[in-house]
Amino acid sequence: MFRKKSRRLKIRKNRIWPTALLFLLMSAALFVVMLITGSVFISYLLDTKLSDSFETLNTMQKVWTDKGDKDPEHMSEFNMDCFILNNEGKTELMIGSDTCIRSASAEFSSVLQPDKEYLIYGDTESEVLVPEKGELEFKLTKFLSEVGRYLDENKDASIFTTGINSDNTIPNGSINIPIWISTGLSDGSGTIYARTVVSFNVNYVFAIIRIVLIVIVIYLVIFVLMLINVISNLRARNKLARQFYKDVTTGGNNRAYFFAKGEPAVRGRGNAKKRYAVLSIKLMNYLSFCVCHSVSEGEKLICRIYDTVNSKLARRELAAHFDSADFAALLAVNSDGELTARLGTLTEALESADSDHRLDFHIGAYMIDVQTDGSGRIKRRKELDLEECYNNAFAARESLPESGGSAYAFFDAKLVEEQKWTDTVVERQQRALESEEFVVYYQPKYDPRTDELRGAEALIRWQSPELGFITPYRFIPIFERNGFITEIDHYMLTHVAVEQKRWLDQGIHCVPVSVNISRAHFIEENLAEQIRDTVDSVGTPHGLIEIELTESAFFDDKQLMIETITRLKSYGFTVSMDDFGSGYSSLNSLKDMPLDVLKLDAEFFRGENCDGRDRIVVAEAIRLARSLNMRTVAEGVEVREQVDFLAEQECDMIQGYYYAKPMPKEEFEARLEVKEQ
């Protein structure tokens, strides 16, 4: 796969859960504080309320045991329901009613009487204070029901109006909670139980209720404000997301949406068993359509194409408009065959998106297969990068030829190897240049009438210590794509000039050598001066350097090209057009370009013979060049019959395997030496 560091923009999420968690923690802390405060308050309240009752109970048991006066009449003077049980559980005394719930009790240590331990029991007439698991529990709901009963019995009472009287006295009225307390008899003969009442002043109770209600209201207000804030943040984020993920042209999904939503879907646990296909879709010749029909019409076409792609998607599949005429889609497919069928259907639908125009599309597809571990079990695609998958689909799309109508291609191992090779070349190119791993080869040019060496073309080879000998077709296209070809042009020009100067200094008869200058260089207005200065820095005569331009270079900036050629000729350089007849409108360029040499494309001479219509075209091209005062060079000549034909047509030079293949400088130098002899 193509590795590419992701630079995708993402919406920064304002996390809501930290705010909610903080609110919950604060609520829990408040609740705990309230529980602790309530527990301490109730304990203190019981201690103060029951202190007199505990003292009375102690007095009662002393009257019963210490004085030995066991007269019930004397015990009734304390005005408390009570009873005494001996150690056998028999009743020794009963005053009033026994409403004590003795099934559960709670120990109570009085602060006011720390030397005594008391037990507290519930009363059948009230369930507000109830012992449970050895602890005295305050039942708030039961207490509130007691408050409600008080309000029913006292129609004029109100939680919100009851307060201090005008004379600063507390209004009468209380809520009474009966409980039972007990302590052991001092002689150890039994236990005395007494019924007492815990009284809560109504005004105090209502004040506490008001405080609690105020706290609850404040809490609810805070909760509502937080809820409003959360909802507001969610709406703002959703609005931002809609804008961020919205494509300006189509109003649908854009590139950011495709990766943000598609990647989690492919990585999801529930989708691990599914196979997916990532598509890179391009409308061909979109710019030409806009030139002919306006940009607004082009945008309408883009919208129709986007709608067409979406119409061919199943549920939970994605499509997006990336930029210009590029689209992406994420399909769920079961097999390669299903993908092929869907691509065919999609292509047909896209071609019909505009009934008034023929539309061609290129589609690249990359299959995301099910992943398994060493034991064959399916695993999640946790590390999958959807952008990398799209890049692979894009690479498959770019492998399709420019012409030929609609087509689709699949990303495969061959493309992987090509990309690996591209990465290797790019990684090593600068080091190779600095280490002079690039080697200049020379292919001689001969006069077909005399078989005399008349010139040569400088060709590049790469002799890498790690990769071995590399032919130009494996790296020159890469350099042309990444712009490094301009560095190669300077490198070749310098080395050829240096070799020419060295041969001259050795007394060797030199012939002009042509050096290719790529079309990428012709955006520079001072190109002619760069070439001149490079050659002059070596000291090589300008007449020994021929600047060779490819035919395609003549259709970038025509005026700048004419000016550059004119200046090169004024500096004494020869200028030639390479690949004449390779498919461009060369005749029109010949009319304006002041060239010296015309090189006939090698395709004219493929095969064993050059006859018929080929002969007519070649003969007329040579005659045309001669009429324009240009010399001609025929490339790719391999057999004697072609040489004889070209000599007959007065072609000036032949460059091809019939005379010589490209050769290292030492071998070419030997030919110069032989010729000098």
Q: pLDDT by residue (tens digit) across 490-524?
A: 999 999 999 999 999 999 999 999 999 988 887 78
Cα gap 346→312, rounded to integer Å? 7
Per-domain residue ranges of the chain: 18-216, 255-411, 426-676
Q: Are 362 and 397 in contact (CB under 8 A)?
A: yes
Find the largest Cα–Cα distance for the chain: 160
Task: Give just the sign of the alpha carbon dihedral 498, 504, 509, 511.
Answer: positive
What pLDDT score does 531 carry?
94
Q: Is the pLDDT of residue 469 over 80?
A: yes
Q: Which two tokens stand for residue 112?
A: 């006011």
Q: 187 phi and psi, to 5 degrees?
A: -90, 0
Which pLDDT score is estimated for 609?
47
pLDDT score recorded for residue 2: 43
What is residue 6's predicted lDDT score, i.e. its pLDDT? 47
Q: What is the pTM of this model?
A: 0.58
Q: How many residues does the chain have?
A: 677
- Cα dihedral sign for 323, 324, 330, 336? negative
3 vs 351, more confident: 351
Residue 539 clears pLDDT 80, i.e. is over it: yes
CB atoms within 10 A of CB 236: 11
- Rounded CA-CA distance 251/243 in Å is 10
CATH number of this structure's domain 255-411, picked from the four choices 1.10.443.10, 3.30.70.270, 3.40.50.1260, 3.40.50.970: 3.30.70.270
**Which of 496, 495, 491, 466 is closest to 476 using CA atoms?**
491
Kindly indicate the confidence band of residue 198, based on its pLDDT and cuts at 50, 70 and 90. Answer: confident
pLDDT tens digits along 271-284: 888 899 999 999 99
Structure tokens belonging to residue 133: 């698991």
Would strands 597-600 and 631-635 be described as parallel, antiparallel, or unpaired? parallel
Amino acid, single-letter form, for residue 91: T
With 0-12 / 13-18 / 19 or more C-beta atoms within 10 angstroms meaning exposed / middle / buried, residue 262 is buried
- Side-chain half-sphere exposure of 671, counting CA atoms within 13 A: 21
Lookup: tokens for 114 = 């720390």
Q: Which CATH architecture has domain 426-676?
A: Alpha-Beta Barrel (3.20)
**Which range has the worst mean pLDDT, 181-190, 214-223, 577-586, 637-646?**
577-586
Residue pLDDT, tens place only, 72-127: 777 888 888 999 999 888 988 899 989 999 888 888 776 666 666 778 898 988 88
pLDDT at 457 over 90: yes
Q: What percent of the chain has pLDDT over 70?
A: 89
Q: Residue 5 has what pLDDT?
A: 44
Pair 582, 635: CB distance under 8 Å: no
Instruction: Tell me which range, 62-71, 94-103, 189-198, 530-539, is most confidently predicted by mean pLDDT.
Output: 530-539
pLDDT on residue 227: 81
